Amino acid sequence: MTDTPHSGCRAGCGACCIAPSISSPIPGMPQGKPAGTRCVQLDDNNLCRLFGDPRRPRVCLAFNFDADLCGSSRSEALQRIEELEQLT
Ligand code: SF4
Ligand code: SF4
């Protein structure tokens, strides 16, 4: 697995760092984060501050661009990930 955005991922989107809940600890968020809350590691350009950092949660490495989920815009992604959260 590589630590680079999967091809197709919109740099600066960051929807998958906001909409889903993350149960594993994140530096600065030891309890993880609730759904709909912006990760503290998401910088002002909506890029992860932990790229290449071993402290980056595994779940973040595992989240790859998925056309069905990411849609064609950031707002589509936010909405779809939020819907998925409500189903799980
Ligand atoms: S929601 Fe999709 S397009 Fe947006 S940052 Fe995450 S993987 Fe990339
Ligand atoms: S640690 Fe990085 S990739 Fe994971 S949710 Fe936070 S900003 Fe996104």
**Domain-wise residue ranges, the chain:** 15-87
- Determine the residue type at 88: T
pLDDT value of position 50: 96
Residue with the smallest CA separation from ligand 1 atom 2 is: 70
Indicate if the pLDDT at residue 2 is higher than 50: no
Q: How would residue 7 be classed by pLDDT, with cut points 50, 70 and 90?
A: low
pLDDT value of position 63: 85
Which one, of 64, 72, 66, 81, lies nearest residue 18 by Cα?
Answer: 81
Q: Is 15 in the pocket of ligand 2 (CB under 6 A)?
A: no
Residues 15 and 39: their CA atoms lie apart, in Å, by 10
